[in-house]
Amino acid sequence: MGGLKFFDHHKRAEKYFNMSKIELRLIKQPVDHFNETETRTWMMSYAQNMEFYQPNGPIYLLIGGEMPLYNQMDSLFDGLVNNLAKETNGALIMSEHRYYGKSLPFPELVTDNMKYLSSQQALADLATLLKYLKSTFLSEKSASPKVVVVGGSYAGNLAAWMKLVYSDLVDAGISVSGPVLATKNFFQYMEIVFKDFLQHGSPECYDKIKEILKNYETLLSTPEGIEELKRQEKICDYSDMTKKENKQQFILHKLYILAKIAQYSENIDEFKEECERMLNTSRIEFLFNEKNQPQDCYDINFYKSLKNWEPYMISWMYQTCTEFGFFQTLDYNNQPFTHNLPLEYYIEICTTLFGFDFDEKRVDKGVKATNALYGGRQPNITKVVFVNGDVDPWHSLSVLKDLSDEAPAILIPNSSHCKVLHRDTEQDSNEMREARKKVKSLIKSWIGL
């Protein structure tokens, strides 16, 4: 079932990593783990680094999240889990999530083909992989290997949920920056972004953000204002900024620049640097990554941009529309940042990409089912450590207090999304060093080392 090698479809990874340490492999998976009458199969990608492995060593399964495998391979070469494997003679395995990268049950991401994309199916894929790995690592001279599952962000959810659902296969887990509480209207995300700029930027910067967003709102409210906005922001003349979905997309692009600093900052000085730019220019600079953008202007077009989405973005949107929500809105009261990114913007994406059935009621149903299935922020779980950074906007949906002695939570001050998994540096805070030390100590004790 597993063990079929392949060498042709992750060539891009060779540009970034020393692939001589890595073996890229495939394993056959059912399209539907929960329907015996569905007999179709597909090939799931995974990678392994056996550099440190010795018989009786543990398996560290680094769970792939909502992007291609080659975008997530850092931990196979460096960082917290790599160090754990080195210290415990462990094997490093990284999986690719179904419907991301090359792990495609179907070649086309059309709505009917995507009905098998869910966290439950993904967990079952991981169970199939672990059963195969445990059987291949087992010999007459070795005991059944211990398994530690590790994930960051959505994959942090999967790490916790693997220990919850497949406790017979998993001995311990590390859940990093995992938003385990599904939430339709995730207004707390931007709320924390703004607070980060207040705390780590300055009160003047916080006020400047309010001023800029209010100015955008004023300009977007009249034909004359729209013309002035186009001039200031170099928006293409043919972009129709009278359409509400284009107005909302413009605001989203601006907010994303602030959110990216909060979510991915390597150090909190980045807040001050962005604040200096805003205070000097009185605007939030554009940061486009979209394909097919004109060279001399920015085309703000909601429907055109959806057509240019990368496949992994479509897959993740499907999961948010059907399971998680996580829609980062400005829909909350008592805030001075305008209400120009509403929930309806995201619902429009769901219905545009997947059909009219993917409406707000469908999101509500999925969110409710997800929290009922996994337990939200109170999963019935042991031997999992939850790690978050307090700068990361996602931490508000994670486990922030100890569930028990065997399900502790660590909140790292001034730390961002998944940063604890990164390599050690001289700039690391004492709190970061202590967090990594504690995680390693917990895992070693839980697997009997």
Whether 106 and 46 map to the same domain: the answer is yes
Q: Please say which residue of 368, 391, 406 terminates a domain.
A: 368
The SS3 of residue 381 is: coil
Strands of 7-113 (E only): list them: 22-30, 41-49, 59-62, 91-95
Q: Do 29 and 172 belong to one domain?
A: yes
Instruction: Render pLDDT for 156-200 as a digit per residue (tens, 0 to 9).
Output: 999 999 999 999 999 999 999 999 999 999 999 999 999 999 999
Other beta carbons less than 10 A from residue 23's beta carbon: 16
Greater pLDDT, 287 or 301: 301
The winner for highest mean pLDDT among 10-19, 113-122, 286-295, 331-340 is 113-122
Q: Are residues 47 and 134 in contact, defined by beta-carbon separation less than 8 angstroms?
A: no
Is this structure's pTM higher than 0.85? yes
d(CA 214, CA 328): 19
- pLDDT at position 320 is 98
Weakest-pLDDT range from 228-237, 333-342, 400-409: 333-342
Give the whole-number percent of the chain exceeding pLDDT 90: 84
Final residue in a domain of this structure, among 333, 368, 403: 368
In degrees and rounded to multiples of 5, residue 48 shows phi and psi of: -140, 145
Contact 95, 27 (CB under 8 A): no
pLDDT digits (tens, 9 = 90+) for 256-269: 999 999 999 988 99
What integer is the mean pLDDT of 393-402? 98
Looking at residues 115-140, what average pLDDT do you find? 91
103 pLDDT more than 70: yes
Q: Are residues 328 and 409 in the same domain?
A: no
Check whether residue 384 and residue 423 sit in a common domain: yes
* Full residue range of the structural domain in which residue 264 is found: 184-368
pLDDT exceeds 60 at position 437: yes
* Element (DSSP H or E) covering residue 3: strand 2-5
pLDDT score at 144: 85
**Residue 386 parent element (H or E):** strand 384-389
- Which residues are bridge partners to 49 per DSSP? 22, 92
Domain edge (last residue) among 368, 387, 413: 368
The answer on pLDDT for 11 being more than 70 is no
Q: pLDDT at position 6, please?
A: 37
Identify the CA nearest to 242 among candidates 258, 222, 259. Answer: 222
Q: Give the mean pLDDT of the chain.
A: 92
Lowest-pLDDT choice from 138-147, 318-327, 410-419? 138-147
**150: pLDDT strictly greater than 80:** yes
pLDDT the model gives residue 4: 39
Domains in the chain: how many in total? 2
Average pLDDT over residues 96-104: 97
Same domain for 154 and 31: yes
CB–CB of 190/330 below 8 Å?
A: yes
Burial of residue 398, with CB atoms counted within 10 A of its CB: 0-12 exposed, 13-18 middle, 19 or more buried? buried
pLDDT confidence of residue 10: 46
Owner of token pair 């220990």: 163
Residue entry with tokens 């640097």: 273
**pLDDT at residue 287 is higher than 90:** no
**CATH code at 27?**
3.40.50.1820
9 confidence band (pLDDT: 50, 70, 90): very low
* Per-residue confidence (pLDDT) for residue 14, from 0 to 100: 58
The pLDDT-based confidence of 3 (bands split at 50, 70, 90) is very low
Tens-place pLDDT, residues 409-426: 999 999 999 999 999 999
- Same domain, yes or no, for 392 and 412? yes
Tell me: the pLDDT tens digits for 222-281?
999 999 999 999 999 999 999 999 999 999 999 999 999 999 998 899 999 999 999 988
Residues 314, 386 within the same domain:
no
Average pLDDT for 332-345:
91
Judge whether residue 363 has pLDDT over 50.
Answer: yes
Domain shared by 78 and 159, yes or no = yes
| Domain match, 234 and 171 both | no
Amino acid 410: pLDDT? 98
CA distances from 24 to 13, 44, 73, 85, 298 (A): 11, 11, 11, 18, 40
Mean pLDDT to the nearest integer, 389-411? 97
Query: Using one digit for the tens of pLDDT, what is the confidence trace for 70-83?
Result: 888 888 889 999 99
pLDDT of res. 234: 93
Contacts of 64 (CB under 8 A, 6+ apart): 72, 94, 95, 96, 97, 100, 101, 155
Nearest Cα neighbor of 27 from 132, 112, 107 is 132
Six-digit token string for 265: 């900052």
* Residue-level pLDDT at 142: 66
Looking at the structure, do residues 119 and 61 belong to the same domain, yes or no? yes
Q: Do residues 351 and 441 share a domain?
A: no
Mean pLDDT along residues 402-414? 97
Confirm if 149 and 165 have CB atoms less than 8 A apart. no
Give the whole-number percent of the chain exceeding pLDDT 70.
Answer: 93
Q: Does residue 14 sit in the same domain as residue 160? A: yes
The band of 1, judged by pLDDT with boundaries at 50, 70 and 90, is very low
pLDDT, residue 335, reads 84
Which residues, listed in sequence order, are joined to residue 30 by a DSSP beta bridge? 41
What pLDDT shows up at residue 8?
40
Q: Is the pLDDT of residue 333 over 90?
A: no
Query: What average pLDDT does this structure show over 212-216?
Result: 95
